[in-house]
């Protein structure tokens, strides 16, 4: 083949390629609404286990029945896949689902900045009001872009039987008491605390708790809005954690332990009576229930909030927590907001609470909670003076990841309290 025909061939191929690309580009978008008023809503959520998938399925069906011509295609995906891969890719590709889960803090800010989300204040103001201040993390500069359907705080999920066996009468209310209890459990031959440090974030939550109790609300605010970590409390948090690690409170080989998968995970160790407690978010009852042989939440499971630290600068009644919220994509049809309104209605929230899937955000629905531990968490939430969002969520993916990496290095004995702060500052500098 001579050179000219080769050139021509390449030109032809390139032209065809460009044509194909532009064709697919044209075909994308604007596909939601048919000509005859038929609307299809796609809805991505993280309900894959426990009672949640069934709840969302019913909600979709009920909404379809009440709105003829509307089809709701709801799909549940594994939480981290949804958050880290599926939604970012769908957004970047310009073909997002209509209604989808959004994570507050840094991620929400990025998405709003890119114009991916529908502002909701003028569309469903009553719904926004119904959840009160809980909606704050889903707001950017005063405008609401997402609404949480569940919100809870972190605390210890513990085995009441094992506590009794170790001679502990009541859950600890101060850090010193917790340290004593760890000793008592060790003496009784029981692994005191399970931590899924292999997944990074469960280990990081320990540091978050120490930071929350060491830093004043003003320092926390400065960190979240300006990435200002100059307050000494951020280093102190690491020092406290280092000291706590020194009493050997965790199970053997915790650096390789996953949080939620299988009997060997930290939740599995608690579920099967091989560890006495685990510091974990409000969703943990469901996870533990899924890891027992009979798939039931064990009788022995109890809950207590993270104890206060004597003499620390932080607010002792502050809690660490987070929630799951939904948002509509900027190009979604108006029915999307209606579906969100329905999801947030008292009926659905009560159904959600009764199913034991989590703690509802509409206060009137809280009375429908049946699970005694979720009731405890809800009471703990109500008693908290303020709730700090999970720090990795609050700081956004980049700083959050650097922070978690620094914390697990401390867990592994290869990092220092100062390094955690340095890593966060370095990561913030790249933004």
Binding site for other proteins (CB under 8 A): 1, 5, 8-9, 11-22, 84-85, 87-89, 91-92, 107, 110-111, 113-114, 116, 197-200, 203, 252-258, 264, 396-398, 401-402, 405, 408-409, 411-412, 414, 430-431
Q: How far apart (Å, rounded) are the C-alpha atoms in residues 287 and 318?
A: 25
Q: How far apart (Å, rounded) are the C-alpha atoms in residues 148 and 97?
A: 18
**Cα 145 from chain centroid?**
17
Question: Smallest distance from the beta carbon of 428 to other proteins, in angstroms?
Answer: 13
Residue among 53 and 264 whose Cβ is closer to other proteins: 264
Residue among 352 and 395 whose Cβ is closer to other proteins: 395
Q: How far apart (Å, rounded) are the C-alpha atoms in residues 165 and 298?
A: 17
Question: Smallest distance from the beta carbon of 99 to other proteins, in angstroms?
Answer: 17
Question: Smallest distance from the beta carbon of 312 to other proteins, in angstroms?
Answer: 27
Question: Smallest distance from the beta carbon of 95 to other proteins, in angstroms?
Answer: 12
Helices in 133-198 by DSSP H: which ranges? 160-165, 175-187
Q: Is 216 exposed, middle or buried (0-12, 13-18, 19+ CB in 10 A)?
A: middle
Question: Smallest distance from the beta carbon of 405 to other proteins, in angstroms?
Answer: 6
Please answer whether residues 159 and 276 qualify as being in contact, where contact means their C-beta atoms are separated by less than 8 angstroms. yes
Residue among 75 and 261 whose Cβ is closer to other proteins: 261
Residue among 63 and 201 whose Cβ is closer to other proteins: 201
**Cα 151 from chain centroid?**
9
Q: How far apart (Å, rounded) are the C-alpha atoms in residues 337 and 299?
A: 40
Residue among 216 and 261 whose Cβ is closer to other proteins: 261
Helices in 311-383 by DSSP H: which ranges? 335-343, 346-355, 372-383
Residue among 8 and 382 whose Cβ is closer to other proteins: 8
Strand blocks (E) in 269-403: 277-280, 301-305, 319-328, 387-389
Nearest Cα to Cα of residue 179 among 168, 337, 189: 168
Question: Smallest distance from the beta carbon of 94 to other proteins, in angstroms?
Answer: 8
Question: Smallest distance from the beta carbon of 60 to other proteins, in angstroms?
Answer: 26
Residue among 139 and 398 whose Cβ is closer to other proteins: 398
């Amino acid at each position: 083949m001579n050179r000219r025909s080769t050139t021509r061939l390449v030109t032809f191929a390139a032209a065809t390629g460009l044509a194909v690309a532009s064709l697919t580009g044209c075909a994308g978008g604007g596909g939601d609404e048919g000509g005859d008023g038929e609307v299809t809503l796609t809805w991505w959520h993280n309900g894959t286990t426990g009672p949640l998938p069934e709840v969302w399925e019913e909600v979709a069906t009920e909404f379809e029945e009440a709105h003829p011509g509307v089809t709701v295609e709801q799909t549940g995906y594994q939480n981290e896949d949804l958050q880290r891969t599926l939604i970012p890719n769908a957004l970047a590709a310009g073909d997002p689902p209509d209604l989808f889960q959004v994570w507050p803090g840094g991620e929400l800010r990025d998405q709003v900045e890119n114009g991916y989300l529908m502002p909701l204040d003028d569309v469903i103001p009553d719904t926004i009001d119904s959840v009160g201040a809980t909606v704050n993390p889903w707001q950017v500069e005063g405008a609401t872009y997402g609404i949480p359907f569940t919100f809870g705080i972190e605390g210890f999920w513990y085995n009441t039987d094992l506590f009794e066996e170790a001679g502990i009468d009541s859950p600890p209310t101060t850090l010193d008491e917790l340290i004593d209890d760890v000793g008592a459990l060790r003496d009784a031959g029981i692994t005191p605390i399970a931590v899924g440090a292999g997944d990074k974030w469960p280990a990081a939550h320990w540091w978050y708790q120490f930071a929350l109790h060491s830093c004043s609300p003003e320092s926390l605010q400065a960190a979240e809005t300006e990435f200002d970590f100059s307050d000494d409390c951020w280093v102190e948090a690491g020092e406290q954690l280092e000291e706590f690690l020194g009493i050997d409170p965790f199970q053997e080989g915790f650096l390789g332990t996953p949080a939620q998968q299988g009997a060997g995970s930290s939740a599995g160790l608690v579920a099967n009576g091989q560890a006495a407690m685990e510091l974990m978010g409000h969703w943990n009852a469901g996870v533990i229930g899924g890891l027992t042989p009979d798939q039931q939440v064990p009788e022995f499971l109890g809950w207590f909030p993270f104890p206060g630290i004597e003499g620390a600068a932080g607010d002792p009644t502050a809690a660490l927590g987070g929630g799951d919220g939904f948002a509509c994509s900027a190009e979604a049809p108006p029915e999307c907001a209606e579906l969100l309104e329905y999801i947030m209605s008292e009926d659905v929230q009560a159904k959600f609470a009764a199913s034991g899937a989590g703690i509802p955000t509409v206060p009137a629905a809280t009375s429908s909670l049946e699970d005694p531990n979720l009731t405890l968490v809800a009471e703990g939430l109500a008693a908290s003076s303020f709730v700090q969002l999970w720090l990795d969520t609050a700081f956004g993916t980049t700083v959050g990841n650097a922070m978690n990496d620094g914390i697990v290095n401390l867990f592994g004995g290869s990092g220092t309290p100062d390094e955690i702060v340095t890593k966060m500052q370095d990561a913030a500098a790249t933004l």
